[in-house]
Amino acid sequence: MNGNIKYKFQKFKIIVEIMANMEEVISKADKLYEREMLDQALPLYLEALKDLKGEMRPYVLRRIAECYFYKENPEIDNALRYIEEAIGEGGNFRDRIFHFMILSEKDPEKAIKEARELLREAEEKKLEDVLPELYNSIGLLLWGDESEEYFKRALELSKKVNDLENYVLSLQNLSYLEKERGNNSKALEYLQEAMKAVEDVMKSLPKSRKKEFIASYSDLYDQAVSLAMDMEDYDLAMEIANRGKVS
């Protein structure tokens, strides 16, 4: 092996080792993130970002923004900085949705304006894969009577495109809205519909996946249990709590 070939081989080997190390760091960070240990995940994502290039970079930038935004003491400016960098480096439409949600904590009026502009673009392009999330997000921004229209649009479209996550989320949002209005019975109807949708999907899954699947909707069952307790229907609360478990 001549000197030039040997040098190129060694350089390639170093690059492969660096990439493998970054993938390991990102994997560790992801596991901490999934366990909501954001303060521990954040420095690992920042470490991985230093020499990271290519398709994974916007993903890690998004994760860093999420850590700053969702941690116990949010750092809004840092969250905005990293999500804007993700968008600039080829981030997807969902990164732009997340941007106005972060911005709403700093400048609500500007965030609503940005959200409406994004909505016009998504509707013109008929981006049905992102519109349910966008409708839900705008509904949360506006929160109040005007929200209902957006949550119902999210509900209708998510059902059409089989987007279970946003279908359930829109029902949860509608339930919160009705509870705030004092309509607990209607609020419970929305949650019952959401739980049925989750359980219908779970029936088709192999037993090995059911526990993890139902756990991903734990907030839905917690919301329903809390509502039943508020209604002083303790038997129903216990029934719902048991529905949210897989033995």
CB distance 166 to 132 below 8 Å: yes
Token couple for 157 = 């479209």
CA-angle at 96, arms to 42 and 176, nearest 5°: 85
- Residue 20 has a pLDDT of 53
- Nearest CA to 216 out of 246, 236, 174 is that of 246
- Residue 219 has a pLDDT of 94
For residue 150, CA distances in Å to 111, 119, 145, 186 come to 16, 11, 10, 18
- Residue 23 has a pLDDT of 84
Helix, strand, or coil (residue 107):
coil
pTM of the model: 0.84
Task: Name the region of 58 (left: φ>0; alpha: ψ -120 to 50; beta: rest).
Answer: alpha
What CA–CA distance (Å, rounded) separates 50 from 40?
17
What CA–CA distance (Å, rounded) separates 78 from 72?
14
- Residue 12 has a pLDDT of 36
Token couple for 63 = 């994760």
Please write down the HEC assignment for all residues of 128-180.
CCCHHHHHHHHHHHHCCHHHHHHHHHHHHHHHHCCCHHHHHHHHHHHHHHHHH
**One pLDDT digit (tens) per residue for the chain, 247 residues:** 555 544 443 433 333 344 457 788 888 999 989 888 999 999 999 999 988 888 889 999 999 999 999 999 999 999 999 999 999 988 689 999 999 999 999 999 999 999 999 999 999 999 999 999 999 999 999 998 899 999 999 999 999 999 999 999 999 999 999 999 999 999 999 999 999 999 999 999 998 898 989 989 999 999 999 999 999 999 999 999 998 887 6
User: Which one-letter DSSP state was computed for residue 1?
Assistant: -
For residue 121, count other CB atoms closer than 10 A to its CB.
13
